[in-house]
Structure 1
Amino acid sequence: MEAVRLTDLAVPEFSSDVTAIFEVMGTMAADLRLDSDQLHAMASEQTGLTDFGPRDYTDRLGVLLAALREVEDVTPAGLLNLHTQLLQMLKNRLLLTDLLARHPEIRDVDLLPPVVIAGLPRTGTTHLHNLLSAGPTFRSLPYWESVEPFPVAAERDHVEPRRERTGQAVWFADEAMPHFKRMHEMTTDHVHEEIQLLANDFSTMFYETIAEVPAWRDHYLACDQTPHYAHLRVQLAALQHLRGGRRWLLKSPQHLEQLPVLADVFPGAAVVVTHRDPVSVVVSMATMVVYSARMHRSPVPVERLGRYWADRIALMLDALVRDRDVLDPSSSLDVRFDEFMADDLGTAEGVYELAGEPVTDEARAALRGYLDNHQRDRHGRIDYRAEDVGLDVDDLRERFAAYTARFL
């Protein structure tokens, strides 16, 4: 299948059906504001709850909202998109607080040390995450559960309403971004990152992936993330209480710059760090973020976003070079992309060994079954070019020389 080169990154082009839906979304956004009071009031109205838990997050939310209000050329549909995501995060806080009040024993759950995949996008993390999740050994987070982790009162005995709502959003994203699946497949039940849960405490780099918010980035990087990872741990215990599971399998690029925090909050975690040529990673990551920006703004500042993500990934990899040795060698592993692609089953079995988990016949059959049905590039490929996102390959190679010398 021929690779697709994206030619409408700056001024997105949509089908007539998608344009019509965007217009309806725009009318729905007429009275919405990126305003804390409005968001809190709507969250309480839609859940019937008023206790958001500790309110230490309100200052962080204020910084975030101010940064979002500075984003240029946000479309009316984009405002609805951003507002809806923030509203859901506040609803998640209300629902978690209510769940903990009804089941205080959740706080006493002793989670097993998780298996954590820490790597940049485009380094094989998604494939490894899904492969390991295919077996019965680990508890992972389907996309619908990451978006709506805790049910409202009327839906406590059923997950389908949450799945259906997420499915509708996934369907529209596929229509509006028809080539996104070539970069990163997303389905309702697709295994997803816990960075979505970190967002419920309003301190994470997640927000950088949905909007251009340098002020938020600076605030996030200046703050100790330990309490927010601790909040993540509580959410994982709550999800285990609701839907079971024995040992969590986690994955997020954010962990690369938070390894000391990760090791402190999740002692004994088995950590897999993935690596790939950073030039390829930066170009494809920047392209993916630029392409997805069409969901909330037009025109899209392609070159500025490209530079932003080259700088951002440099910060992350510098942190990795600095902090990699905080991880216990007996419970951490470096995986290079080319080696993983050459032997993905062997790599998965190596992670099982690292975690001290047996590869049972059932687990091996599940791993093989996943590989048989998930061939690489089955949705097609993107023709990634540095110049399409305002980047220079030689400059990138020089910038990432220290990382490359150590890990590749």
Structure 2
Amino acid sequence: MPELNVDAMMTAAIEAAGSDDFGSNDFVEGLTVLCASADAEAGLHELGYFALQQNVIGALTNRLKITDWHRRHPDVARERIDAPLIVVGMFRAGTTFLSQLLDRDPGNRALLRWEASDGVPPPSPETFRAGPRVDAANAAIDMLESLNPRMKIVHHEDAEGPTECITLLGQDFKSLTWEAIANVPTYGEWLRQADYRSAYRYHRSALQVLQSGGVRGQWTLKSPNHALALDALTAEYPDAHLLLLHRDPAVLCASACSLISTLTGTFSDGDHAAYIAEHWTQMLAESVDRIEAFRSAHPEHPIIDVHYADLVQDPVRAIETIYARCGMDLDGPARDGIAAFVAANPKGRFGTHGYRVADFGLAADALRERFAAYVERYAIPVEVGADG
């Protein structure tokens, strides 16, 4: 494959957006490291090269449009993002399910998949969950899942449903979204040391644009990526309610490795299993360590702990408990919406996501020993099935 050319992709985005103002240039270093890492390490085949290239151009294009919208509509900078509910992790612990439940409350405002990538002009109440941009995003999802049908089982999102903040963070090129497309060790190492402040400033600017179209409410956001950057997150959103899900770390590691293998395997024929096992197990450990360090250093930012087992056993009760911790009430329409969603979306409706830690050269007992302090601290129950 030819090398990914940063200047050429920026030029393509400028042509697509009709603007050349990217705002702050803080994103350039991450973009440059990402492209060099992908060229040298990802083993992308032709489709993978094209997919990464187009995703980069798309991220740059949306960044240009968001920046330009702020320039042409200066009042957007006064849009308030008050007390968002932010699910910060853990990886593969039910964060998607929790975000979908929160989205059923009419008083909440989720970040939808389609608008995270194509948010200008901002949606109106009439175009929030329907319209040409939603249809185009769903068509892209269908195409990707037709290339790799397992993706629909492992991690399916509808374009009109809630998505992760990694898409917006990725438009500043400080995001795990790029590691979900390609195995890029050098970029991954750079990202672990990165200063996320510019990414969260951009994140806020994007949310301001999105809600300025008239779709407002209490923002409900989610991404395990937040666990790695809690200082930057809370600097931008000091009144945020932080939610953290806990689950057996052997299951988390196995599920994360399965997810990344499925996603990156769509774009490369290389054998990255050993790297995936080592890197994503370390990412979970890093998340645990950074969360604990943040909790010790910032008691003024309490984190609400939620057990995965409690969430799946009684979703309505789990949301009710979360709301109570946030000083909120779960009213009738929200309660009914959550119950209806649970009834209509049984686990495994797209198929069963099977995974074993042994498939990645890992041992469940060794993982539980490695994370023993974490398991004991939060009284996390052991789940049957991760071993084989």
Q: TM-score, normalised by structure 1?
A: 0.86
1:313, 1:351 → 2: CA distance? 23
Contact 1:259 1:327 in 2 (8 A): no
The residue aligned with 1:400 is 371
In the alignment, structure 1 segments of 5+ residues that lack a partner are 1-29
Matched, 1:321 2:284: no
Q: 2:346 aligns with which of 372, 375, 387?
A: 375
Look up the match of 2:25: 55
When residues 243 and 218 of structure 1 are mapped into structure 2, their CA distance, relative to the original with a 3 A threshold, is: farther
Matched residue, 2:185: 214
- Following TM superposition, by how much is the alpha carbon of 1:123 offset from its aligned partner in structure 2, in angstroms? 0.9
Task: Rate the CA distance shift 1:148–1:280 in 2: closer, same or farther, 3 A.
Answer: same
Question: Counterparts in 2 of 1:132-151, with a 5 A limit?
Answer: 132-151=102-121
How much has 1:130 moved relative to structure 2? 0.1
- Does the 8 A contact of 1:332 with 1:354 survive in 2? no
Aligned to 1:241: 212
Aligned to 2:14: 44
1:80 aligned to 30, 50, 62, which one?
A: 50
Distance (Å, rounded) in 1 between the aligned partners of 2:338 and 2:36? 45
Name the SS for the 1:267 alignment partner: coil
Q: Is the 8 A contact 2:167 2:177 kept in 1?
A: yes
1:305 aligns with 2:311: no
SS of aligned partner of 1:70: helix
- Is the 1:33–1:83 contact (alpha carbons within 8 Å) kept by the matching residues of 2? no
Query: 1:35 maps to what in 2?
Result: 5
- Aligned-pair distance for 1:329? 7.3
SS at match of 2:86: strand
- Displacement, 1:126? 0.9
Q: Is the 8 A contact 1:149 1:239 kept in 2?
A: yes
1:55–1:351 distance in 2 versus 1, CA, 3 Å: same
- Once residues 249 and 146 of structure 2 are traced to their aligned partners in structure 1, the CA distance between those partners, rounded to angstroms, is 30
Runs (5+) with no aligned partner, structure 2 = 381-388
Q: What is the TM-score of this pair, normalised by structure 2? A: 0.91
Alpha-carbon contact 1:143-1:190 (below 8 Å) kept: yes
Aligned residue type for 1:378: R
C-alpha root-mean-square deviation of aligned residues, in Å?
2.2
Task: Report if aligned partners of 1:293, 1:300 keep a CA contact under 8 Å in 2.
Answer: no
Q: Distance in 2 between matches of 1:369 and 1:188?
A: 20
Return closer, same or farther for 1:257/1:47 CA change in 2, 3 Å cut-off.
Answer: closer
Match of 2:266 among 281, 292, 295: 295
Q: 1:189 to 1:300 in 2, by over 3 A?
A: farther
User: Corresponding residue for 1:18?
Assistant: none
Q: Of the candidates 327, 336, 342, which is equivalent to residue 313 of structure 2?
A: 342
**Size of the alignment, in residue pairs?**
375
Q: In structure 2, do the counterparts of structure 1 residues 192 and 72 end up closer, same or farther at CA, with 3 Å as the change threshold?
A: closer
Deviation at 1:330, TM superposition (A): 8.2
Amino acid at match of 2:217: R
Show the counterpart of 1:103. 73
Supply the distance in 2 between the matched residues of 1:329 and 1:41 (Cα, whole angstroms): 44
8 A contact 1:286–1:305 mirrored in 2: yes
Query: Is residue 2:121 matched to residue 1:121?
Result: no
Match of 1:365 among 314, 326, 336: 336
CA distance in 1: counterparts of 2:301 and 2:17, whole angstroms: 45
The answer to which of 141-150 and 218-227 deviates more is 218-227
Distance 1:200 1:211 in 2: 16
Mapped contact 1:204–1:220 kept (Cα < 8 A): yes
What per-residue deviation string (whole Å, max 9, x for no partner) do you get for residues 67-109 of structure 1? 1111243110110100010000110111011101111111122
Residues 259 and 323, structure 1, Cα contact 8 Å, conserved in 2? yes
Name the counterpart of 1:5.
Answer: none
For residues 222-261 of structure 1, the aligned pairs below 5 Å read 222-261=193-232
**Following TM superposition, by how much is the alpha carbon of 1:328 offset from its aligned partner in structure 2, in angstroms?**
4.8
- Kept in 1, the 8 Å contact 2:154–2:353? The answer is yes
Indicate the residue corresponding to 2:41 in structure 1. Answer: 71
